[in-house]
Amino acid sequence: MIAEADRAPTADAAEADLVPGEGRGVLVYGVVDASSKVPAGLTGLDDAPVTSVRHGRVAAVVGEITLDRPPGRRAELVAYSTVLDTLAEAGAVAPVQFGSVLLDEQAVVEDLLAPNEDEFAELLVQLEGRTQFNLRATYLEEVVLTELVQTDPEIRELRELTRGLPEDAAYGERVRLGELVARALEERSGADADVLLDAITPLVAGCNVRPGGGADHVLDAALLVDDDRRDEVVDRLEGLAEAVHERMRLRLVGPVAPYDFVGGS
Amino acid sequence: MTVQTTQRRGGGYLERPKPSGLADVIEIILDKGIVIDVYVRVSLVGIELLTIDARIVIASVDTYLRFAEATNRLDLIEHGGGKPLDEFIGNMQESGASGKTKGAVEGVKRAITGGDDDDDDEERRRPARKSSSSRRRSESR
Protein backbone atom coordinates (compact mmCIF):
# COMPACT_ATOMS: atom_id res chain seq x y z
CA MET A 1 0.00 0.00 0.00
CA ILE A 2 2.93 2.32 0.64
CA ALA A 3 4.12 1.81 -2.88
CA GLU A 4 0.62 2.61 -4.11
CA ALA A 5 0.63 5.85 -2.16
CA ASP A 6 3.93 6.86 -3.71
CA ARG A 7 2.53 6.33 -7.14
CA ALA A 8 -0.81 7.95 -6.59
CA PRO A 9 0.09 11.55 -7.40
CA THR A 10 1.67 10.49 -10.67
CA ALA A 11 -1.41 8.55 -11.58
CA ASP A 12 -3.67 11.51 -10.81
CA ALA A 13 -1.55 13.75 -12.96
CA ALA A 14 -1.63 11.25 -15.78
CA GLU A 15 -5.38 10.98 -15.60
CA ALA A 16 -5.85 14.73 -15.55
CA ASP A 17 -3.58 15.22 -18.54
CA LEU A 18 -5.48 12.67 -20.53
CA VAL A 19 -8.93 14.14 -20.13
CA PRO A 20 -9.91 15.60 -23.48
CA GLY A 21 -11.48 19.00 -23.75
CA GLU A 22 -14.91 17.91 -24.78
CA GLY A 23 -15.20 15.61 -21.75
CA ARG A 24 -15.85 12.43 -23.64
CA GLY A 25 -14.06 9.12 -23.55
CA VAL A 26 -14.35 5.58 -24.75
CA LEU A 27 -15.82 3.00 -22.42
CA VAL A 28 -14.43 -0.47 -22.96
CA TYR A 29 -16.90 -3.29 -22.36
CA GLY A 30 -14.77 -6.24 -23.31
CA VAL A 31 -12.40 -7.88 -25.71
CA VAL A 32 -13.44 -10.20 -28.52
CA ASP A 33 -11.84 -11.95 -31.45
CA ALA A 34 -11.12 -9.60 -34.36
CA SER A 35 -13.47 -11.60 -36.56
CA SER A 36 -16.41 -11.12 -34.19
CA LYS A 37 -19.20 -8.82 -35.22
CA VAL A 38 -20.99 -6.59 -32.74
CA PRO A 39 -24.71 -7.23 -33.13
CA ALA A 40 -26.36 -4.45 -35.13
CA GLY A 41 -28.23 -1.89 -33.07
CA LEU A 42 -26.57 -2.82 -29.78
CA THR A 43 -26.40 0.16 -27.43
CA GLY A 44 -24.75 0.57 -24.05
CA LEU A 45 -24.31 3.27 -21.42
CA ASP A 46 -25.84 6.61 -22.41
CA ASP A 47 -27.63 4.64 -25.15
CA ALA A 48 -24.47 5.09 -27.18
CA PRO A 49 -23.96 2.68 -30.07
CA VAL A 50 -21.60 -0.16 -29.29
CA THR A 51 -18.80 -0.64 -31.81
CA SER A 52 -15.53 -2.49 -32.04
CA VAL A 53 -11.95 -1.35 -32.40
CA ARG A 54 -9.66 -3.91 -34.01
CA HIS A 55 -6.02 -4.61 -33.61
CA GLY A 56 -4.44 -7.74 -35.01
CA ARG A 57 -6.31 -10.82 -33.82
CA VAL A 58 -8.38 -9.06 -31.20
CA ALA A 59 -10.89 -6.24 -30.91
CA ALA A 60 -12.21 -4.11 -28.09
CA VAL A 61 -15.94 -3.55 -27.82
CA VAL A 62 -16.45 0.09 -26.95
CA GLY A 63 -18.95 2.92 -26.69
CA GLU A 64 -18.63 6.67 -26.28
CA ILE A 65 -19.29 8.06 -22.85
CA THR A 66 -19.29 11.41 -21.09
CA LEU A 67 -16.66 11.64 -18.41
CA ASP A 68 -18.23 14.00 -15.93
CA ARG A 69 -20.77 11.75 -14.29
CA PRO A 70 -21.78 10.39 -10.93
CA PRO A 71 -20.89 6.85 -9.92
CA GLY A 72 -22.57 4.08 -11.84
CA ARG A 73 -26.22 3.64 -11.16
CA ARG A 74 -28.65 0.92 -11.86
CA ALA A 75 -29.27 1.68 -15.52
CA GLU A 76 -25.54 1.83 -16.23
CA LEU A 77 -24.72 -1.43 -14.52
CA VAL A 78 -27.57 -3.12 -16.31
CA ALA A 79 -26.53 -1.60 -19.65
CA TYR A 80 -22.96 -2.82 -19.18
CA SER A 81 -23.97 -6.35 -18.31
CA THR A 82 -26.55 -6.43 -21.08
CA VAL A 83 -23.91 -5.54 -23.67
CA LEU A 84 -21.55 -8.23 -22.39
CA ASP A 85 -24.19 -10.91 -22.03
CA THR A 86 -25.43 -10.15 -25.54
CA LEU A 87 -21.89 -10.48 -26.88
CA ALA A 88 -21.40 -13.71 -24.93
CA GLU A 89 -24.38 -15.24 -26.69
CA ALA A 90 -22.69 -14.60 -30.03
CA GLY A 91 -19.18 -15.77 -29.16
CA ALA A 92 -16.25 -15.55 -26.82
CA VAL A 93 -15.91 -12.27 -24.96
CA ALA A 94 -13.55 -11.30 -22.17
CA PRO A 95 -15.27 -8.69 -20.00
CA VAL A 96 -13.32 -5.62 -18.97
CA GLN A 97 -13.98 -4.27 -15.49
CA PHE A 98 -17.09 -2.10 -15.26
CA GLY A 99 -16.51 1.58 -15.96
CA SER A 100 -13.11 1.42 -17.64
CA VAL A 101 -12.72 4.50 -19.83
CA LEU A 102 -9.90 5.32 -22.23
CA LEU A 103 -9.21 8.59 -24.00
CA ASP A 104 -10.17 7.60 -27.52
CA GLU A 105 -10.04 4.73 -29.97
CA GLN A 106 -6.37 5.30 -30.62
CA ALA A 107 -5.66 4.80 -26.92
CA VAL A 108 -7.72 1.62 -27.00
CA VAL A 109 -5.42 0.26 -29.67
CA GLU A 110 -2.11 1.57 -28.35
CA ASP A 111 -2.61 1.18 -24.62
CA LEU A 112 -4.91 -1.80 -24.36
CA LEU A 113 -4.94 -4.04 -27.40
CA ALA A 114 -1.42 -3.79 -28.78
CA PRO A 115 0.43 -4.50 -25.51
CA ASN A 116 -1.90 -7.39 -24.62
CA GLU A 117 -2.80 -8.89 -27.97
CA ASP A 118 -1.24 -12.31 -27.36
CA GLU A 119 -2.65 -12.59 -23.88
CA PHE A 120 -6.14 -11.60 -24.99
CA ALA A 121 -6.06 -13.94 -27.97
CA GLU A 122 -5.07 -16.83 -25.73
CA LEU A 123 -7.78 -15.96 -23.23
CA LEU A 124 -10.41 -15.87 -25.96
CA VAL A 125 -9.37 -19.31 -27.13
CA GLN A 126 -9.99 -20.61 -23.62
CA LEU A 127 -13.39 -18.94 -23.48
CA GLU A 128 -14.52 -20.07 -26.92
CA GLY A 129 -17.71 -22.09 -26.81
CA ARG A 130 -18.20 -21.43 -23.11
CA THR A 131 -20.33 -19.17 -20.98
CA GLN A 132 -20.66 -18.51 -17.31
CA PHE A 133 -23.45 -19.55 -14.97
CA ASN A 134 -23.72 -18.41 -11.40
CA LEU A 135 -24.91 -20.98 -8.93
CA ARG A 136 -26.15 -20.09 -5.52
CA ALA A 137 -27.31 -22.46 -2.84
CA THR A 138 -29.03 -21.19 0.28
CA TYR A 139 -30.53 -22.90 3.27
CA LEU A 140 -34.12 -22.76 4.28
CA GLU A 141 -33.08 -21.27 7.56
CA GLU A 142 -35.86 -22.69 9.67
CA VAL A 143 -35.17 -26.19 8.44
CA VAL A 144 -31.44 -26.11 8.99
CA LEU A 145 -31.81 -24.53 12.42
CA THR A 146 -34.19 -27.32 13.36
CA GLU A 147 -31.56 -29.82 12.27
CA LEU A 148 -29.03 -28.15 14.53
CA VAL A 149 -31.35 -28.24 17.53
CA GLN A 150 -32.07 -31.87 16.91
CA THR A 151 -28.49 -32.98 16.43
CA ASP A 152 -26.51 -30.82 18.84
CA PRO A 153 -27.22 -31.44 22.54
CA GLU A 154 -25.61 -28.21 23.71
CA ILE A 155 -27.64 -26.14 21.30
CA ARG A 156 -30.76 -27.98 22.39
CA GLU A 157 -30.05 -27.36 26.06
CA LEU A 158 -29.28 -23.68 25.61
CA ARG A 159 -32.42 -23.31 23.57
CA GLU A 160 -34.53 -24.90 26.28
CA LEU A 161 -32.84 -22.70 28.83
CA THR A 162 -33.32 -19.39 27.05
CA ARG A 163 -36.47 -19.64 25.00
CA GLY A 164 -38.99 -19.05 27.75
CA LEU A 165 -37.13 -16.09 29.21
CA PRO A 166 -37.57 -12.41 28.43
CA GLU A 167 -35.17 -10.95 25.88
CA ASP A 168 -32.84 -9.25 28.31
CA ALA A 169 -32.44 -12.32 30.49
CA ALA A 170 -29.73 -14.93 30.08
CA TYR A 171 -27.76 -12.68 27.75
CA GLY A 172 -24.59 -14.74 28.01
CA GLU A 173 -26.46 -17.93 27.25
CA ARG A 174 -28.12 -16.35 24.25
CA VAL A 175 -24.82 -15.19 22.83
CA ARG A 176 -23.37 -18.63 23.46
CA LEU A 177 -26.34 -20.27 21.75
CA GLY A 178 -26.02 -17.99 18.76
CA GLU A 179 -22.30 -18.55 18.56
CA LEU A 180 -22.76 -22.31 18.59
CA VAL A 181 -25.42 -22.04 15.93
CA ALA A 182 -23.23 -19.80 13.78
CA ARG A 183 -20.31 -22.18 14.07
CA ALA A 184 -22.44 -25.23 13.37
CA LEU A 185 -23.99 -23.48 10.37
CA GLU A 186 -20.59 -22.67 8.97
CA GLU A 187 -19.42 -26.23 9.37
CA ARG A 188 -22.58 -27.64 7.88
CA SER A 189 -22.64 -25.26 4.96
CA GLY A 190 -19.02 -26.04 4.21
CA ALA A 191 -19.78 -29.74 4.02
CA ASP A 192 -22.92 -29.18 1.98
CA ALA A 193 -21.06 -26.86 -0.40
CA ASP A 194 -18.51 -29.64 -0.95
CA VAL A 195 -21.30 -32.05 -1.80
CA LEU A 196 -22.66 -29.70 -4.42
CA LEU A 197 -19.23 -28.94 -5.82
CA ASP A 198 -18.29 -32.60 -6.04
CA ALA A 199 -21.44 -33.21 -8.03
CA ILE A 200 -21.01 -30.34 -10.43
CA THR A 201 -17.30 -29.66 -10.95
CA PRO A 202 -16.69 -32.77 -13.07
CA LEU A 203 -19.10 -31.32 -15.64
CA VAL A 204 -17.71 -27.81 -15.94
CA ALA A 205 -14.64 -26.25 -17.51
CA GLY A 206 -14.05 -23.88 -14.62
CA CYS A 207 -15.37 -23.12 -11.17
CA ASN A 208 -14.77 -20.07 -9.05
CA VAL A 209 -16.17 -20.27 -5.54
CA ARG A 210 -17.03 -16.81 -4.36
CA PRO A 211 -16.92 -15.81 -0.72
CA GLY A 212 -20.35 -15.95 0.78
CA GLY A 213 -22.24 -13.89 3.23
CA GLY A 214 -25.45 -14.28 5.09
CA ALA A 215 -26.83 -16.78 7.53
CA ASP A 216 -28.40 -18.91 4.84
CA HIS A 217 -25.30 -19.08 2.64
CA VAL A 218 -24.21 -22.48 1.41
CA LEU A 219 -22.49 -21.89 -1.90
CA ASP A 220 -21.96 -19.10 -4.38
CA ALA A 221 -19.98 -20.23 -7.38
CA ALA A 222 -19.33 -19.09 -10.91
CA LEU A 223 -19.26 -22.00 -13.36
CA LEU A 224 -17.64 -21.89 -16.77
CA VAL A 225 -19.78 -24.20 -18.86
CA ASP A 226 -19.12 -25.64 -22.30
CA ASP A 227 -22.01 -24.84 -24.59
CA ASP A 228 -22.39 -28.47 -25.57
CA ARG A 229 -22.58 -29.55 -21.92
CA ARG A 230 -25.03 -26.93 -20.84
CA ASP A 231 -28.02 -29.26 -20.81
CA GLU A 232 -26.08 -31.82 -18.86
CA VAL A 233 -25.08 -29.26 -16.25
CA VAL A 234 -28.61 -27.94 -15.90
CA ASP A 235 -29.93 -31.48 -15.61
CA ARG A 236 -27.44 -32.31 -12.92
CA LEU A 237 -28.33 -29.16 -11.01
CA GLU A 238 -32.02 -29.81 -11.41
CA GLY A 239 -31.45 -33.26 -9.92
CA LEU A 240 -29.47 -31.78 -7.06
CA ALA A 241 -32.07 -29.10 -6.46
CA GLU A 242 -34.76 -31.72 -6.24
CA ALA A 243 -32.67 -33.85 -3.91
CA VAL A 244 -32.04 -31.04 -1.46
CA HIS A 245 -35.21 -29.03 -1.89
CA GLU A 246 -36.49 -29.67 1.60
CA ARG A 247 -33.60 -27.80 3.13
CA MET A 248 -31.93 -25.80 0.37
CA ARG A 249 -32.70 -23.59 -2.60
CA LEU A 250 -30.58 -23.77 -5.71
CA ARG A 251 -30.56 -20.83 -8.03
CA LEU A 252 -28.85 -20.68 -11.38
CA VAL A 253 -28.34 -17.41 -13.23
CA GLY A 254 -27.05 -17.42 -16.77
CA PRO A 255 -25.74 -17.73 -19.30
CA VAL A 256 -23.80 -14.55 -18.63
CA ALA A 257 -20.46 -13.32 -19.91
CA PRO A 258 -17.48 -15.05 -18.25
CA TYR A 259 -16.78 -12.30 -15.73
CA ASP A 260 -15.06 -14.66 -13.33
CA PHE A 261 -12.78 -16.30 -15.87
CA VAL A 262 -10.67 -13.56 -17.37
CA GLY A 263 -7.91 -13.61 -14.80
CA GLY A 264 -8.81 -10.17 -13.47
CA SER A 265 -6.90 -9.29 -10.36
CA MET B 1 -22.55 -40.41 -15.99
CA THR B 2 -25.43 -40.71 -18.39
CA VAL B 3 -27.96 -42.42 -16.18
CA GLN B 4 -30.22 -39.69 -14.99
CA THR B 5 -29.77 -36.81 -17.33
CA THR B 6 -33.03 -37.23 -19.16
CA GLN B 7 -35.87 -37.21 -16.71
CA ARG B 8 -35.12 -34.27 -14.52
CA ARG B 9 -35.38 -31.45 -16.99
CA GLY B 10 -38.12 -29.09 -16.12
CA GLY B 11 -38.47 -30.55 -12.67
CA GLY B 12 -38.83 -27.04 -11.41
CA TYR B 13 -36.75 -27.23 -8.27
CA LEU B 14 -33.84 -25.34 -9.79
CA GLU B 15 -34.63 -21.65 -9.84
CA ARG B 16 -33.61 -19.96 -13.09
CA PRO B 17 -34.15 -16.23 -12.69
CA LYS B 18 -33.11 -13.71 -15.31
CA PRO B 19 -30.25 -11.57 -14.04
CA SER B 20 -32.32 -8.43 -14.26
CA GLY B 21 -32.32 -7.23 -10.69
CA LEU B 22 -29.74 -4.73 -9.61
CA ALA B 23 -28.50 -6.98 -6.84
CA ASP B 24 -27.99 -9.80 -9.33
CA VAL B 25 -26.10 -7.61 -11.73
CA ILE B 26 -23.87 -6.17 -9.05
CA GLU B 27 -23.05 -9.57 -7.68
CA ILE B 28 -22.21 -10.85 -11.10
CA ILE B 29 -19.97 -8.02 -12.17
CA LEU B 30 -18.54 -6.54 -8.97
CA ASP B 31 -14.76 -6.63 -8.94
CA LYS B 32 -14.74 -8.76 -12.06
CA GLY B 33 -13.24 -8.37 -15.49
CA ILE B 34 -9.95 -7.40 -17.04
CA VAL B 35 -8.42 -4.53 -15.11
CA ILE B 36 -6.97 -1.75 -17.21
CA ASP B 37 -3.92 -0.11 -15.72
CA VAL B 38 -4.58 3.11 -13.88
CA TYR B 39 -1.91 4.94 -15.92
CA VAL B 40 -3.70 4.10 -19.11
CA ARG B 41 -7.30 4.74 -18.39
CA VAL B 42 -8.85 8.17 -18.29
CA SER B 43 -11.22 7.40 -15.49
CA LEU B 44 -13.14 4.63 -13.89
CA VAL B 45 -16.86 5.01 -13.54
CA GLY B 46 -17.44 3.80 -10.02
CA ILE B 47 -20.29 1.76 -8.71
CA GLU B 48 -22.51 3.75 -6.40
CA LEU B 49 -21.70 2.49 -2.95
CA LEU B 50 -25.27 2.69 -1.79
CA THR B 51 -26.20 0.01 -4.24
CA ILE B 52 -23.88 -2.53 -2.69
CA ASP B 53 -25.46 -4.54 0.09
CA ALA B 54 -23.24 -4.87 3.08
CA ARG B 55 -22.37 -8.46 3.58
CA ILE B 56 -23.55 -9.86 6.86
CA VAL B 57 -20.66 -10.50 9.14
CA ILE B 58 -21.29 -13.87 10.65
CA ALA B 59 -19.05 -13.52 13.69
CA SER B 60 -20.65 -10.74 15.66
CA VAL B 61 -22.68 -10.62 18.82
CA ASP B 62 -25.62 -9.17 16.91
CA THR B 63 -25.56 -12.09 14.54
CA TYR B 64 -25.30 -14.51 17.43
CA LEU B 65 -28.30 -12.95 19.11
CA ARG B 66 -30.25 -13.10 15.90
CA PHE B 67 -29.42 -16.79 15.52
CA ALA B 68 -30.39 -17.42 19.12
CA GLU B 69 -33.69 -15.68 18.56
CA ALA B 70 -34.36 -17.57 15.35
CA THR B 71 -33.51 -20.84 17.06
CA ASN B 72 -35.77 -20.10 20.00
CA ARG B 73 -38.60 -19.15 17.71
CA LEU B 74 -38.62 -22.48 15.92
CA ASP B 75 -41.68 -24.59 16.05
CA LEU B 76 -39.82 -27.79 15.63
CA ILE B 77 -41.28 -29.45 12.62
CA GLU B 78 -40.76 -32.88 11.31
CA HIS B 79 -38.53 -33.23 8.30
CA GLY B 80 -37.35 -36.09 6.24
CA GLY B 81 -39.35 -37.97 3.70
CA GLY B 82 -37.07 -36.78 0.92
CA LYS B 83 -36.67 -39.16 -1.94
CA PRO B 84 -33.65 -41.43 -1.84
CA LEU B 85 -30.81 -40.18 -3.90
CA ASP B 86 -29.13 -43.51 -4.39
CA GLU B 87 -29.06 -43.11 -8.11
CA PHE B 88 -27.45 -39.75 -7.81
CA ILE B 89 -25.00 -40.88 -5.20
CA GLY B 90 -24.07 -43.82 -7.39
CA ASN B 91 -23.25 -41.42 -10.16
CA MET B 92 -21.05 -39.34 -7.99
CA GLN B 93 -19.12 -42.35 -6.81
CA GLU B 94 -18.57 -43.45 -10.37
CA SER B 95 -17.28 -40.11 -11.39
CA GLY B 96 -14.34 -40.16 -9.04
CA ALA B 97 -14.44 -41.94 -5.73
CA SER B 98 -12.31 -40.42 -3.05
CA GLY B 99 -12.36 -39.89 0.66
CA LYS B 100 -13.89 -36.53 0.08
CA THR B 101 -16.54 -37.98 -2.16
CA LYS B 102 -17.45 -40.49 0.48
CA GLY B 103 -17.93 -37.76 2.99
CA ALA B 104 -19.87 -35.87 0.38
CA VAL B 105 -22.21 -38.78 -0.09
CA GLU B 106 -23.02 -38.77 3.58
CA GLY B 107 -23.66 -35.12 3.17
CA VAL B 108 -26.16 -35.78 0.43
CA LYS B 109 -27.87 -38.36 2.59
CA ARG B 110 -28.04 -35.87 5.35
CA ALA B 111 -29.37 -33.39 2.86
CA ILE B 112 -32.21 -35.73 2.14
CA THR B 113 -33.08 -36.86 5.60
CA GLY B 114 -32.73 -33.57 7.34
CA GLY B 115 -29.60 -34.57 9.15
CA ASP B 116 -31.05 -36.42 12.09
CA ASP B 117 -30.09 -39.99 12.74
CA ASP B 118 -31.86 -40.18 16.04
CA ASP B 119 -35.45 -41.09 15.39
CA ASP B 120 -36.24 -41.22 19.07
CA ASP B 121 -35.50 -37.60 19.57
CA GLU B 122 -38.31 -36.35 21.69
CA GLU B 123 -38.57 -33.14 19.74
CA ARG B 124 -39.59 -35.08 16.70
CA ARG B 125 -42.59 -36.59 18.39
CA ARG B 126 -44.21 -33.23 18.59
CA PRO B 127 -46.98 -32.75 16.10
CA ALA B 128 -45.67 -31.31 12.90
CA ARG B 129 -46.54 -27.69 12.63
CA LYS B 130 -45.34 -25.60 9.80
CA SER B 131 -44.88 -22.00 10.70
CA SER B 132 -44.66 -19.07 8.40
CA SER B 133 -41.25 -18.62 6.91
CA SER B 134 -41.82 -15.11 5.71
CA ARG B 135 -40.75 -13.47 8.92
CA ARG B 136 -37.31 -14.98 8.95
CA ARG B 137 -36.84 -14.37 5.25
CA SER B 138 -37.38 -10.70 5.73
CA GLU B 139 -35.01 -10.70 8.67
CA SER B 140 -32.20 -12.40 6.92
CA ARG B 141 -32.06 -9.83 4.16
Interface touch B36/A30, C-beta < 8 Å: no
- CA-closest candidate to residue A135, choices B100, B23, B16, B95: B16
Out of B28, B63, B79, the one facing A81 most closely (by C-beta) is B28
C-beta atoms surrounding A77 within 10 Å: 24
| Residues in chain A within 8 Å Cβ distance of B28 | 81, 134, 253, 256, 259
CB neighbours of A114 closer than 8 A, spacing ≥ 6? A55, A56
Structural contact between residues A93 and A61, judged by C-beta atoms closer than 8 angstroms: yes
Interface touch A250/B111, C-beta < 8 Å: no
At residue B32 the predicted structure's pLDDT band, cuts being 50, 70 and 90, is confident
Out of B14, B25, B68, the one facing A241 most closely (by C-beta) is B14
When mean pLDDT is compared across A165-169, A190-194, B32-36, the lowest value belongs to A165-169
Interface touch B79/A236, C-beta < 8 Å: no
Q: Residue A48, exposed/middle/buried by CB under 10 A (0-12, 13-18, 19+)?
A: middle
Q: Which of B40, B83, B106, B135 to mutate to test the interface with A (most CBs of A within 10 A)?
A: B40
**How is chain B split into domains, by residue range?**
80-115
Structural contact between residues A51 and A87, judged by C-beta atoms closer than 8 angstroms: no
Interface touch A185/B67, C-beta < 8 Å: yes
Concatenated DSSP letters of chain A: -HHHHHHHHHHHHHHHHH--TT-EEEEEEEEEETT--PPTT-B-GGGPBPEEEEETTEEEEEEEEESS-PSB-HHHHHHHHHHHHHHHHHS-EEEB-TTEEESSHHHIIIIIIHHHHHHHHHHHHHHTTEEEEEEEEEE-HHHHHHHHHHH-HHHHHHHHHHTTS-TTSSHHHHHHHHHHHHHHHHHHHHHHHHHHHHHHGGG-SEEEEPP--STTEEEEEEEEEEGGGHHHHHHHHHHHHHHHTTTEEEEEEEEE--GGGS---
pTM, rounded to two decimals: 0.73
Q: Does residue A201 carry a pLDDT above 50?
A: yes
* ipTM at complex level: 0.76
Out of B38, B57, B65, the one facing A175 most closely (by C-beta) is B65
Share of chain A above pLDDT 90, in %: 72
CB neighbours of B46 closer than 8 A, spacing ≥ 6? A71, A72, A99
pLDDT number for residue B117? 39
Mean per-residue pLDDT for A220-224?
96
At residue A106 the predicted structure's pLDDT band, cuts being 50, 70 and 90, is very high
The mean of the pLDDT values for chain A is: 88
Calculate how close chain A gets to B53, using CA atoms only, in Å: 10
